């Protein structure tokens, strides 16, 4: 029995290196150093990220959403560097990890190609500000008030109160019309009268209609001029400047006033006679 125990002990001892203490001491030192590298690196990563955020917030016009996104990206990149450095201290071969990360990054990039495009467009919108929250914009075939500008998409509220979410890539890929970017807008109307009507009288009436509208900015000038001798009418172009919030009220108001005043003044507004005949034949 004692001999068997001695044989087992001898067998086990043969597998244990004579310098086991030194080896364990070396591993313990590497483990402690890796832990120190991780903790210090994490602290530095947070400090560097906070410094970046402080600098970005001092940049005029920098959007908070973009700042938060950049903060996360920078922090995670720094943490990857810290983790790889700590693993390297433990003797782990990090080359394979870098290859795996590169392959994974390529695969993710291909899979999220459209999302990355929307992100890039979102950054452009936030930095160059073709519009901001509250603006009325026509973009990607949608007209509405901007309620949110995000990194990947923007939210529009249409005049009939529909919520439409538009990918930023679709917005920047076409033209963008910021309808109320300026404080004033010009109302344009085309008004036709019959060839038998008095042009001078019609012009005076149109001038009176426009100038008597209290929301029209008369000091910016009013234009009433014959623009076209059409097939069945003499067309006037009517132009007046208004404050942007008053645009539709003035446009609708002037249109109604023209019809009412023309009826009072016996000035005719021609309509397509051909269409009328077609309807009668039907």
Residues 86 and 149 in one domain: no
Q: Are 94 and 37 in contact (CB under 8 A)?
A: no
pLDDT at res. 279: 47
Q: What φ, ψ does residue 24 adopt, rounded to 5°?
A: -60, -40
Give every CB contact of residue 131 below 8 A, 6+ residues apart in sequence: 125, 137, 139, 146, 149, 176, 178, 181
Phi/psi for 64 (5° steps) reads -65, -35
CATH number at residue 252: 3.30.70.100
Reduced to 3 states (helix: H, G, I; strand: E, B; else coil), residue 274 is helix
- At residue 217, the pLDDT reads 97
Tokens of 3: 């001999």
Supply the range of the domain harboring residue 249.
Answer: 184-273
At residue 277, the pLDDT reads: 46
Residue-wise pLDDT for 217-242, tens only, equals 999 999 999 999 999 999 999 999 99
What pLDDT score does 196 carry?
Answer: 95
Determine phi and psi for 71, rounding to 5 degrees.
Answer: -60, -45
C-alpha closest to that of 185 among 258, 240, 121, 237: 240
What's residue 112's pLDDT? 53
For residues 224 and 114, the model is more confident at 224
Q: Check residue 276 and give its pLDDT.
A: 43
What pLDDT digit, counting tens, does each position of 43-81 carry? 999 999 999 888 888 877 666 767 777 787 788 888 888
Could you read off the pLDDT of 124-146 as tens digits, one per residue?
888 888 998 899 999 999 999 99
Name the percent of the chain lying above pLDDT 90.
49
* Contact predicate 226/234, CB 8 Å: yes
Residues 153 and 240 in one domain: no
Residue 280: pLDDT band with limits 50, 70, 90: very low
Residues 143 and 228 placed together within one structural domain of the fold:
no
- Could you tell me if 136 and 236 lie in one domain? no
Buried b vs exposed e over 248-263: b needs ≥16 C-beta within 10 Å? eebbebbeebbeebbe
Which pLDDT score is estimated for 15?
47
38/272: higher pLDDT: 38
Question: Is 70 exceeded by the pLDDT of residue 12?
Answer: no
pLDDT for position 282: 46
Same domain assignment for residues 248 and 159 = no
Instruction: Look at residue 124 and tell me if it is in a domain.
Output: no
Query: How does residue 117 score in pLDDT terms, banded at 50, 70 and 90?
Result: confident
**Do 190 and 269 lie in a common domain?**
yes
The H or E element that residue 178 is part of is strand 176-178
> Looking at residue 171, which CATH number applies to its domain?
2.30.30.60
The proportion of the chain whose per-residue pLDDT surpasses 70, expressed as a percent, equals: 77
Is there a domain that residue 52 lies in? yes
Decide if pLDDT at 111 tops 70: no
Looking at the structure of the chain, the number of domains it has is 3
Q: In what order do the strands lie in the sheet with 184-193?
A: 184-193, 234-243, 222-229
């Amino acid at each position: 029995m004692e001999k068997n125990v001695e044989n087992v002990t001898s067998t086990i001892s043969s597998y244990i290196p004579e310098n086991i203490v030194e080896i364990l001491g070396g591993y313990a030192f590497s483990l402690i150093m890796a832990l120190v590298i991780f903790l210090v690196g994490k602290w530095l990563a947070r400090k560097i990220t906070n410094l970046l955020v402080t600098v970005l917030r001092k940049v005029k016009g920098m959007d908070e959403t973009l700042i938060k996104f950049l903060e996360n990206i920078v922090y995670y990149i720094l943490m990857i560097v810290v983790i790889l450095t700590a693993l390297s201290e433990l003797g782990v071969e990090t080359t394979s990890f870098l290859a795996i990360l590169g392959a994974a990054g390529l695969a993710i990039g291909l899979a999220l190609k459209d999302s990355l495009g929307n992100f890039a467009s979102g950054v452009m919108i936030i930095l160059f500000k073709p519009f901001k929250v509250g603006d009325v914009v026509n973009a990607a075939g949608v007209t509405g008030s901007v309620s949110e500008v995000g990194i990947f998409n923007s939210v529009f509220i249409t005049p009939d109160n529909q919520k439409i979410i538009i990918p930023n890539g679709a917005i920047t890929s076409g033209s963008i019309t910021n309808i109320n970017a300026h404080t004033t807008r010009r109302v344009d109307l085309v008004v036709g009268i019959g060839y038998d009507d008095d042009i001078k009288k019609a012009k005076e009436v149109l001038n009176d209609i426009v100038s008597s509208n209290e929301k029209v900015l008369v000091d910016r000038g009013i234009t009433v001029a014959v623009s076209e001798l059409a097939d069945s009418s003499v067309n006037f172009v009517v132009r007046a400047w208004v404050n942007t919030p008053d645009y539709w009220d003035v446009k609708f108001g002037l249109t109604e006033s023209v019809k009412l005043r023309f009826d009072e003044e016996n000035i005719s507004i021609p309509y397509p006679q051909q269409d009328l005949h077609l309807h009668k034949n039907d």
